[in-house]
Amino acid sequence: MAIDRRAFLSLSAAAPAGMAAGSAAAGTAPMPPPAALGLEAVHFGVRPNSPDDQSRALQYAIDQAAGVRVPLVLRPGVYRAARLKLHAGSQLMGIRGATRLVLSQDAPLIESQGTDQIGLSGLTLEGAGIRGGGARGLVHLIMGRGVRIVDCEVRGAPRHGIVLEGIEGEVRGNTVSGAGDAGLFSLDARGLTVADNTIRGCGNNGIQIWRSEAGDDGTRVIGNRVEDIAARDGGSGQNGNAINVFRAANVIVSDNRIRGAAFSAVRGNAASNLQVLGNSCVGCGEVAIYAEFGFEGAVIAHNTVDGAAVGVAVTNFNHGGRLAVVQGNIIRRLLPQRPPGTDPEDGAGVGIGVEADTAVTGNVIEDAPTAGIALGWGRYLRDVTVTGNVVRRAGVGIAVSVSQGAGAAVIADNLIADARRGAIVGMELKRPVTGDLAKEGASRYAHLAITGNRVR
């Protein structure tokens, strides 16, 4: 029979469970009464803790609940399933920590395409050790607005935990662990918030915010805990990142707690107008916070970095990377080398490295074996100011390019203490070619203005 919302609201008694299950196949079951929060899946023949695949019964229950725009509630228990398709208005709800959907075949567990106002909450979604998955997610949602994934746990996804393509909505308060590739992968978002999630133990990346082509994205990645991210597929930085922003402009990454990333805590590649604010970054193998390749605009401010090969890098002026503010960061305990797979010419043991159109101000850097602050690489230096920073215990306090073609730099009013090889030293690529310019000789380099620095 046709079921509309008025008919649903007028119902007052449930059909017996056996009748509901039998009628489901014929599509003629009377609609059961609502539970406290919606319709209960058991009334449609769904059996918790059954060893059998529950996909057919679950799909029927999802279809019926979506048809009258009420949530479908799953009781505590284990439900084996795959390829559950959400429709416009589908709301799938479980009991947090007690309702488990376990993948039964090599496919997404939950998927949708072109559906708005859908939601998942209180569910534990498990990959069950099934391998494969291609580029798919255990949850894979394509083109939708008003999407909400909240208070769910996603475990052991064969590839990605959650994949969102062209999605507007929020992913909040979830735990994603043990994904073979990325914990959460967003492509071409249309207004997404990723907040207050825990992402841990993933194979290649924690949170990926990508676009098919460079352009406005505007995703907010706020208040997440991202831990123990590996780089199982190797590479020179495409893997091993807690938060990876690629081609996506106007993204905000703030107030995240990041620990144990094989490469970067936050890596922005061709990501213009990126803001990286107030993050805690501990135990990174390569550059903790990176703005690289073909970006214009980055603000990297008020972060703490404890343990990395490089604290902050604003680089690749040769590929158009330019325009940044690096302000008020605390960076310490830098490592003398980068992970295997990176370019051996790339430096390590550096607190902050910048190249073009950048202000570096009010940072505190300690224990940088190569240099506290490095300005430019060969001729790739233009319009950089370094003011009001504190550098303590470094190989070189501030290293600045004096190669032919290097552009202007102002180095003023910094405090540099215990710099073993000089407070301010001119470099040609990796080679020091001057004495300590904080003491004498700076006037030989017309592109440099060095004044008011305190050295001890």
Query: Does the pLDDT at position 110 exceed 60?
Result: yes
Q: Is the predicted pLDDT of residue 125 greater than 80, yes or no? A: yes
Torsion of CA 274, 197, 193, 319, to 10 degrees: 20
Q: What is the pLDDT of residue 133?
A: 58
Residue 49 forms part of a structural domain: no
Please name the residues in contact with 132: beta carbons below 8 A apart, sequence gap of 6 or more: 106, 158, 159
The single-letter code of the amino acid at 245 is: V
- When the pLDDT of each residue in the chain is averaged and rounded to a whole number, the result is 92
> H or E stretch including 300?
strand 296-301
Kindly report, residue by residue over 51-99, the tens digit of the pLDDT. 999 999 999 999 999 999 999 999 999 999 999 999 999 999 999 999 9
| Whole-number Cα distances in Å, 320 to 162, 237, 271, 357, 410 | 32, 19, 12, 11, 21
The CATH number linked to 126 is 2.160.20
Instruction: Report the C-alpha gap between 174 and 153 in whole angstroms.
Output: 6
Q: What is the pLDDT of residue 2?
A: 39
Residue 23 lies in a domain: no
**Length in residues, the chain:** 456
- 18 vs 447, more confident: 447
Question: 128: phi > 0 → left, psi -120 to 50 → alpha, else beta; which?
Answer: left
In a domain, 142, yes or no: yes
Out of 22-26, 110-114, 317-321, 359-363, which region has the weakest mean confidence (pLDDT)?
Answer: 22-26
Does the reported pTM lie above 0.75?
A: yes
323 lies in some domain: yes
Beta strand 205-216 with 182-187: parallel, antiparallel or unpaired? parallel
Neighbours of 350 (CB within 10 A): 29
Assigned domain for 33 exists: no
Give dist(CA 219, CA 216) in Å, integer.
Answer: 9
DSSP-assigned letters across all residues of 45-97: T--TT-SSB-HHHHHHHHHHHHHTT--EE--SEEEEE--EEP-TT-EEE--TT
**How many domains, the chain?**
1
Give me the pLDDT at residue 82, please: 96
Q: Which domain holds residue 142?
A: 80-455
The pLDDT tens digits for 259-284 are 999 999 999 999 999 999 999 999 99
Higher-pLDDT residue of 328 and 37 is 328
Residue 41 lies in a domain: no
Taking only the tens place, the pLDDT of each residue in 220-261 is 999 999 999 999 999 999 999 999 999 999 999 999 999 999
Residue 314 lies in a domain: yes
206 part of a folded domain: yes
Question: Which residues does residue 352 pair with via DSSP β-bridges, in sequence order?
Answer: 312, 373
Q: What is the DSSP string of 98-160?
A: TEEEEE-SSS-SEEEES--S-EEES-EEE-TT----TT-EEEEEEEEEEEEEES-EEE--SSE
